[in-house]
Amino acid sequence: MNTLGNFINGKHIPSKSGRLSPVYNPATGEQSIHVSLSTADETRQAIATAHEAFATWKAVTPLRRAQILFRFKSLLESNFDLLAELISLEHGKVLSDAKGELTRGMEVVEFACGIPHLQKGEFSANVGTGVDSYSLMQPLGVCAGISPFNFPVMVPMWMFPIAIACGNTFVMKPSEKDPSVIMKVAELLTEAGLPDGVFNIVNGDKEAVDVLLTDARVQAVSFVGSTPIAEYIYATGSQHGKRVQALGGAKNHMVVMPDAETEQVVSALMGAAYGSAGERCMAISVAVCVGDEAAEKLITEIKKEVSNMLVGPGTGGDQEPHMGPLISQVHAEKVKHYIDTGVQDGASLLIDGRDFKVAGHERGYFVGPTLFDNVKPGMRIYDEEIFGPVLSVVRVSSYQEAVDLINAHEYGNGTAIFTGSGESARHFCEQIQVGMVGVNVPIPVPMAFHSFGGWKRSVFGPLNMHGNDGVRFFTRMKTVTARWPKSDVTTHSFSMPTMK
């Protein structure tokens, strides 16, 4: 059985740790490969390689960096189907969803290709007599990325393309659950002409992560994952003098107003709640229905649609399923336990996915689409992020009650409102305490030229991912004030300098 090691200095390097973690095909429950869990010393080797490469990479012109990224994007396009299949085989999401993930990641690569413009500073002539002032956006040095299992390509591409475009070098620590696709991406970067050592991969667990958070040569850390780990990443990295962007958990609500078009709401909600088996940080897991009539309409139609859903392996069959398995047996059991607690807490279980089986794939990690009604704050299925195909319906009596409900939740990642009222939508966008808002859009993930990030306990750190925030995160501003005085000027001044 193949074993994945690390990718350091442009080469695949076997790990000597002796610690192996199995990688499974979630649709079959069968192990496909091993991945090595690197030692602290192996992680330091990757950092040292990136540190050495920074000395020359930072001097490469932004235009030259952009040209390499253009070639990289072309290689991603020519290997598109292969990469999507690797995602599907190890994560479990259906092929069309894997292709969607890859496309959104490539959009950030495309954005990073504009780095000659994005990295321009500002210039002000004659801020004083014969004095000019200008700014430089300079790279930081070695940067690190720690990514989750649910987007094994897209989330790393939120990080490293902008980082290396800005002149930094990078060490990536992907999820040990689905590491193969990012290793292929590293090969494509090398093929595109990226110098050895600029992009490196360390496979591992907490031992590797702690080195990335504490080694003085690492200047910045970018992370996406659960809130408890995001807090740890932010606190530890910041304590060791690094700039950190750490994106955590979510509990995303969709407000369904009485004037919303039911067919449109149902169409949007099916994909937002059950797409990728709910393993998305922007998944809609709570439908907040204003009024019982809106709730009854929604539930009736959702039940019809769920009965027609096709669930199965992401890469198999003549007809692509709507939803695949969860990432692991452990996670599938965790989601089933959440369903148990929902019943125990008094929510109405309308569709139960706990005993769902797929013919021919009985060992796969499948949980069927699940629907609860009469869910309330204080229930675990409402308060906590389930990260599975479980949709909760909460009934409220007014629009303001819906807003107050969402604002009271500890997470503030994404939300949406479905309505025909411009007044309601505008008020919602202004008053809601959530970082990303959709109006008649169920999953409001910003395009690459805008920035991605939530509020409250969904994010730690002041700068979000990609867009202008991404460029600011991976650069350090330096402001220069310059004049070229005549050689015979000898006047001394001991007061605060002012410009005249």
Q: Which residues contact 225 (CB under 8 A, 6 or more apart)?
A: 146, 147, 148, 233, 247, 248
Pairing of strands 252-256, 414-418: parallel
Active-site option among 113, 166, 281, 289 = 281
Q: Which residues contact 195 (CB under 8 A, 6 or more apart)?
A: 10, 53, 56, 57, 60
Residue (of 91, 66, 215) closest to 147 by Cα position: 91
Tell me the DSSP string of 427-454.
HHHHH---SEEEES-SS-PPPTTS-B--
166 a catalytic residue: no
Phi, psi of 462 (to 5 degrees): -85, -15
Phi, psi of 479 (to 5 degrees): -110, 130
Q: Which helix (H) or strand (E) holds 468?
A: helix 467-473
Say whether 124 sits in a helix, a strand or coil: strand
Our CA angle for 104, 106, 109, nearest 5°, is 125
Say whether 386 sits in a helix, a strand or coil: coil
Tell me the DSSP string of 315-361.
T-SSS--SB---S-HHHHHHHHHHHHHHHHTT-EEEE--TT---TT-
Residue (of 394, 404, 376, 395) closest to 292 by Cα position: 395
Say whether 293 sits in a helix, a strand or coil: helix
Residue (of 438, 407, 420) closest to 254 by Cα position: 438
Q: How far apart are CA 6 and CA 12, in angstroms?
A: 6
Angle between helices 62-78 and 180-191 (to 10 degrees): 130
So which residues are the catalytic ones?
281
